[in-house]
Amino acid sequence: MPLLELICPAGSLPALKAAVDHGADGVYLGLKDNTNARNFAGLNFDEKSLKEGIRYAQGKGRKVLMALNTYPQPATLPRWHKAVDTAAELGVNAIILADPGLMGYAVKTHPGLRLHLSVQGSATSYEAVNFYRERFGIQRAVLPRVLSLPQVENVVDNTDVEIELFGFGGLCVMVEGRCLLSSYACGDSPNTFGACSPGHAVRWEQTATGMETRLNGVLIDRYADHEKAGYPTLCKGRFEVQGETYYALEEPTSLNSLEMLPEMARMGIAAVKIEGRQRSPAYVAQVTRVWRAAIDSVKRAPEQFKALPAWMAELAKVSEGSMNTLGAYYRPWK
């Protein structure tokens, strides 16, 4: 079983190459449609760029994991089946799935294709993980970002499935795969459309009181002239509640679990995932470089590992709101 593989985002071919060149053990990517949960204009891969990406990564001994982690709809099911077929034909190392029906198709049609359970599958217990192993033969599961480290360890101790954890990047206020906020505002579910707060519903407008961001007409935030206007998502908007205006659901901040690497190594975490397929190649390069150095350090001498200030400073530069959190991994009240 692998230990602390570094799995990095590739929203484009330049981002894939940046990840590989700066030390990723593998990259994850998706196609230019709603078969993956980052269906934004300008992102993702067509068949030509996917072939080149696979050639580049595997030529350097790195893995390519293809995300097919949305839920197919009856009218367009052949699109998801074709995506599975394409992944198998082009030779990706694994596909990342959430939908059990699509897993069934993959097992039946391409029995040699390695399956990973997506974070969108919302498996938060070892019973759920083992169910997917018994029914579909999944070999890895990506856990939602809602579990404390002791809860993660309980999963690891009770399954033979490799466990992958998010290590750095944007957070989701809901259990992945179960959020209805975007569909409430836009009518497009991220689990089927492939994008939370889809671009067609986003508007920025300069007003007399500041830059306003809206999602399908819903006012998400208003920024003063000196503030950077963020991408409007309902969970990270500022709203007026009982006369006060603040981040009522979730502050913009990034998960950064770098200091927990020795604990992750001890419990046998197979892979650490970096969030950010929608981010730039420069982001991918910077975060990959830091995490590669940190993982190598903890593998050499876990008992002597320290999260260096220089590493933390580099990650802070690309964090949402320039803030970091340990998220649910560290809950002192439990």
Residue 334, pLDDT above cutoff 60: no
User: What is the per-residue pLDDT across 7-42, written as a single tens digit (0 to 9) for each?
Assistant: 999 999 999 999 999 999 999 999 999 999 998 889
Binning pLDDT at 50, 70 and 90, where does residue 333 land? low
Q: Which residues of 211-227 are buried (b: 16+ CB within 10 A; e: fewer)?
A: bbbbbbeebbbbbeeee
**Structural domain boundaries of the chain?**
5-171+253-329, 184-247
pTM, rounded to two decimals: 0.93
Mean pLDDT score, 313-325:
86
- At residue 231 the predicted structure's pLDDT band, cuts being 50, 70 and 90, is confident
Closest by CA to 96, choosing from 162, 148, 145, 170, is 162
Handedness of CA 188, 194, 197, 199 (dihedral sign): negative
Residue 175 pLDDT more than 80?
no
Q: Specify the CATH superfamily of domain 5-171+253-329.
A: Aldolase class I (3.20.20.70)
User: Between vectors from CA 214 to CA 213 and to CA 220, what angle results, nearest 5°?
Assistant: 75
Q: What is the pLDDT of residue 193?
A: 86
Residue 157: what are its φ and ψ, rounded to 5°?
A: -70, -15
Q: What is the pLDDT of residues 190-229, one digit of tens each?
A: 888 888 888 889 999 999 989 999 999 999 999 998 888 8
